Chain A
Amino acid sequence: MFAYYFQLGLRSLRRNPILTALMVMAIGFGVAASMTTYSVFRATSNNPIPQKSSQLFAVQIDNWGPEDNDKGEPASSLNYTDSIALMKAHKAKRQTALYPVGLAAVPADANLLPFRTNGYAVYGDAFPMFDMPFLYGGGWSSAEDDGHAAVVVIARSINDKLFNGANSVGREINLDGHNYRVTGVLDSWDPKPLFFDPVNTSGFDDPVDLFIPFTRAIELKMSTNGNNNCNKNPGDGWDAWLHSECIWAQFWVEAPSKADVDTYRQFLQGYAAEQQRAGRFHWAPNVRTRDVMDWLDHQNVVPAESKISLLVAMGFLLICLVNTVGLLLAKFMRRAPEIGVRRALGASRREIYGQFLIEAGTVGLAGGLLGLLLTGLGVFGVSLVFDPKIARLATLDASLVALTMLVAVLATVLAAFYPTWRAAQVQPAWQLKSN
C-alpha cells in the first residue's frame, strides 16, 4: 500500500504543478536557510576535544577584587604570580600556564627571509593534557621545564618548511636569534575552536606553529603576543610588570574525576584565602574552574551573528511551514469529491490519513532535494556573510545532507497533519450528494 500511495503522491504532485512548485520552493528555501546557518553554528559551537572536554578546566582567580572585576566575575586571565604559584603547588594530575608568543623563525639558509610564527609558551604537561598527536619525538620533561631548556615542539607545517618533512628531532631551529632543540614534531593538529586560548584569539585563527617552555620564554623576557590587562599602573620595566597584578596568562588543569575537580577547587579557595590573609587580596576568595565547553561558552566563542542568523532562519522555516500548511489544505480540500468517493467505497479514515501523509512526505522529499541544492549553494556562499576563518569550517557533509532531508520530510509531514485531518473529516454522503 505504501508504494501505491507513494505513486499516487507523485502523480498528485504533477496534477497542480504551480501549487506543488510553491510548496516545494517554500520547503526548499526554509530548510536551506536553516541548514546553512546551522552548518555555521555547528562549526562554531563544535567540541574541539570531545574525549577530554569534561576533564580539562580553565582556572580563574580574582586578583583584582570587586572594584575592577567584571560584575563579580573574575577576569579570564591570570597574572604571573598566581600562575607560578599554581604551577609550583602542582595539585592537579597535570597543569600548565600558557601564553601566546610571536617569534620569527630564521631559516638556516641566509638567502631565505625570516617568517613569523604563531607560538605558545607552555609547560611540558600541555602535550599529554591536550592530547596532541606526535609525528616524531614528543614533548619535553618537567626537568626541562625547571631548567628553562631551549627546546621546541613544532607543527608539521613548520617541519615541512624548515626540514622538508624529515624527522627533525634533535636538530635545532633559530627563533629570534636563539637556537632551540626540536624534541617533537606534531602531526596535523588544529582544534577548532582553539579551546585553550579563546581569550587571545577568536578561537578560529591560524593553527599554532610551535610550543616553547613557559620558563624559557619568561627568562628571555618575552612579552605576551596577546592581551595584557592592568587595573593599576604596573610601574617601569620588565620585573615590575612581571610581578604586578597585570593579567595575561591562561591556566589549565586536568582533573579526571568529579572528586579531583572538587579537590582542586578547594585548593584554589584555600590559595585565595591565603592571599587574603597575606594582605594581597582585600576580598573573599573568588575562584572558578570551567571545563572546555563551559569555558568556550563563557568566552562567547560562537559569534552573536551565528546565533542571530540561526534564530532568524528557524523563524523563516516556521513561516515556510505555515505556508505549507495552507497550501496543503488547499490542495487536499480540492480533492474532497475524490475523498468522498474513496470513503464511500469503503476506505477507512486511517487509510485517508496514510494516503495524504505519504503524499505530503513526497512533497517534503522534493522540497528536501531542492533544499539540499540550495544548502550546497548556501554553504558555498557563507564566506560572503561570515568571517572567512569561520566560513571555511562550514561544510556540507554526509550528516548535514541526511539532516537536511530528514528535516524537510519530517517538517512537511508535521505540517500535513491538520490538512490531512480535515481531509479525513470529509463526509462521503455530503460529497456524493452535492455532486
Chain B
Amino acid sequence: MQIKPILSALRQHKAGTVLIAMQIALTLAIVCNALFIIQQRLAHLSEPSGIDETHLFVVENQWVGKPSPDQLDAQIRADLSALRQLSSVQDASVSNSYPLHGGGWDDGLKLKPDQANATTEAAIYFADEHMLATLGLKLIAGRNFRADEIGHMGIRDALAPPVIVITKALAEKLFPSVDGHANAALGKTVYLMSNRTTIIGIVDQLQSQSVARWAADFAHRSVLVPLRLVSPQGTYYLIQAKPGQLDAAMHAAEPTLLAQSRKRVISDKDGLLSFAEVRAHAYDSDYGMAVLMGIVCVVLLAITAAGIVGLTSFWVGQRRRQIGVRRALGATRRDILSYFMTENLLISSGGALLGVLLAVTMNLWLVIRFEMQHLSLLYVFIGVAILLLLGQCAVLAPAMRAAQVSPVEATRTV
C-alpha cells in the first residue's frame, strides 16, 4: 500500500483528520489512566488480611454506665465464656479493633528507649490467648500468649505489656535479617511507647485496622498485646463460627450477650457485622472507583468508535466519484478497502502518539495532586493497542461500503 497518496489526500481533509486524531489522543489519555486506576484499586482491595474471614463476625458492644475496670473485665470474661459455649461458635476473642475496621490504635515502636524517632508505626491489637485461633492466624515462630499472661487496662492507662506477638512484616522491619528469616526478631526486646517489651511470637500476616492512605506505611505491621482493653466506649467481640453456621452464630450472639447483662448497647445498624460486610465497607470506594472507571472506558471507546464511523462515512460519501475513477482505472475492491484502513491507521497512529504524551502528563498531574502512583508503560501499550484496533474495527463498515462503489460512479456527474 502506498502511503504518499493517502497523505496528500488527507491534506484535503485537514479538519476531519485533526478531529479524529485529537479524539483518539484524548481517549487514549483517559483510557490509559482509567485502566491504571482500575488496576490499582483492584490490587488494593484484593490484599489479603491474613485472617480466616469466611465464618468470622464482629459484635460491637458499648457499655452503659461507668463500670469499674475490674467489673468490666469480669463482664468481658463472662461474655466470652458464654459465647464460646454456643454450639455454633468455634472460638471467640475480644479486642479494641480488627483489620479493615477503619479506626483503631497505632503506636511507634523503638529499638532503644532513648531513640528520637520510632523505627516504625504499628497497629496495636488487644488480644487474649484465643485471638490466634479465632482469627485463624498462622504462628510461624515462637508461641501464643498463655491464659495467665492476659491482663487488663483502662483506656487512659499506660500501655506496657511485658510480652507481645508481632507480624512477620513488622519483624522484618524491626530486625532485617540477611537470609530473610523473621525468626531473628524472636526473643528480642523492643520499646512500645517507651515501655520495654519482649517479642515472644511471630504470626505470618495480620493487616492493620485501616486500609486508608494514612495507614499505608504500616499496612501489615501489627502488634498483639496480651491485654483486654476495658473501655466504656466499646469492646469488639470477634467470633469464629463453625463452618456453615455463621448465620446461626450471628443470630445467637446478641441474645446470649443480653442474657449476661442488659447494660450494653449493640446497635441495630452496625452492631453485628459479618466479615464479608466489613470487607465490602472497607473497600467500597475502591470498588466504586473501579466500576466507574470501567463504565467510563467502555462508553468512551463506543463514542470514539461512533465518531470514526460517522466521519469516515462522510468521507466515503464525498469521494464516491474518486473511488469510481480508481475502480475504473483498475483498482480492486481490496485496494479501496485497504486504502481506507491504512488511512485510519495513519491518523490513529498520529493521535496515539499525541495521546501517549497526554496520558503521561495527566498521570503526572494525578501523581502530584492525588499522590497516585506513576503510570506503568504496560497500560500505555494496552491503551494504544486498544485504540488502534478500535479504529480499524470502526472504519471497517464504511470502508466496505466504499469498496462496493461501482466503477460506473466515475461517469456520473452528480
Contacts and interface: CB of A to CB of B under 8 A. Distances in A.
Interface in A269-284: none
A19 B23 contact: no
Chain A interface main SS type: helix
B311 interface: yes
A13 interface: no
Chain B interface main SS type: helix
Contacts of A48: none
A106 B16 CA distance: 73
Interface string B351-389: 000000000001000100110000000000000000000
For chain A, the bracket of interface size reads 35 or more
Contact of B292 (A18, A236, A309, A315): A309
B288 A305 contact: yes
B74 interface: no
A237 interface: yes
Contact of B265 (A116, A236, A237): A116
Interface centre among B64, B157, B264, by most A CB within 10 Å? B64
B140 interface: no
Interface stretch (B29-37, B92-100, B402-410): B29-37
Contact of B304 (A33, A319, A435): A319
Interface stretch (A88-96, A321-329, A402-410): A321-329
Contact of A330 (B66, B103, B310): B310
Contacts of A106: 64
B288 A384 contact: yes
Contacts of A104: 62-65, 265
Interface stretch (B130-138, B198-206, B295-303): B295-303
Contact of B303 (A177, A223, A304, A319): A319
Interface in B302-357: 303-304, 306-307, 309-311, 313-314, 317-318
Contacts of B15: 329, 418, 422
Interface string A228-262: 00000111111011000000000000000000000
Interface stretch (A22-30, A164-172, A289-297, A347-355): A22-30
Given A305-B289, A385-B288, A235 B311 contact: no
Contact of A326 (B23, B34, B299): B23
A246 B157 CA distance: 13
A219 interface: no
Given A323-B23, A326-B19, A236 B64 contact: no
Nearest to A240: B156
Contact of A113 (B158, B262, B304): B262
Given A307-B370, A327-B310, A312 B293 contact: yes
B20 interface: yes
A19 B398 CA distance: 13
B30 A315 contact: yes
A308 B291 CA distance: 14
Interface string B11-44: 0000110011011001101100110010000000
A307 B195 CA distance: 43
Contact of B310 (A22, A176, A315, A435): A22
Interface centre among B66, B262, B362, by most A CB within 10 Å? B66
Contact of B299 (A33, A309, A333): A33
B42 to A, nearest CB: 15
A303 to B, nearest CB: 7
Contacts of B366: 308
Interface in A312-366: 312-313, 315-316, 318-320, 322-323, 325-327, 329-330, 333-334
Contact of A315 (B26, B65, B285, B307): B26
B19 A387 contact: no
Interface centre among B288, B370, B414, by most A CB within 10 Å? B288
B289 A309 contact: yes
Given A102-B234, A114-B64, A237-B157, A303 B285 contact: yes
For chain B, the bracket of interface size reads 35 or more
A225 interface: yes
A67 interface: yes
A233 B196 CA distance: 13
A334 B306 contact: no
A102 B62 contact: yes
A322 B306 contact: no
B370 A304 contact: yes
B49 interface: no
B370 A316 contact: no
Contacts of B291: 384-385
A189 interface: no
Contact of B414 (A113, A233, A308, A435): A435
Nearest to A241: B156
B37 A25 contact: no
A102 B26 contact: no
B7 interface: no
B233 A102 contact: yes
Contacts of A318: 26
Given A67-B116, A385-B288, A386-B288, A25 B303 contact: yes
A375 to B, nearest CB: 14
B284 interface: yes
Contacts of B300: 316, 319
Contacts of A333: 314, 318
A115 interface: yes
B29 A315 contact: yes
A116 B299 contact: no
B193 interface: yes
Contacts of A19: 310, 313
Interface centre among B16, B62, B194, B267, by most A CB within 10 Å? B62
B155 interface: yes
Contacts of A113: 258, 262, 265
Nearest to B262: A113
Nearest to A222: B232
A293 B399 CA distance: 56
B192 to A, nearest CB: 10
A326 B158 contact: no
A327 B314 CA distance: 9
B263 interface: yes
15 contacts: A102-B233, A104-B63, A104-B64, A234-B158, A303-B285, A305-B285, A308-B370, A312-B34, A323-B306, A326-B16, A326-B23, A326-B311, A330-B314, A386-B285, A422-B15
Interface of B: 15-16, 19-20, 22-23, 26-27, 29-30, 33-34, 37, 62-66, 103, 116, 155-158, 193-195, 231-234, 258, 262-265, 267, 284-285, 288-289, 291-293, 296, 299-300, 303-304, 306-307, 309-311, 313-314, 317-318, 362, 366, 369-370, 414
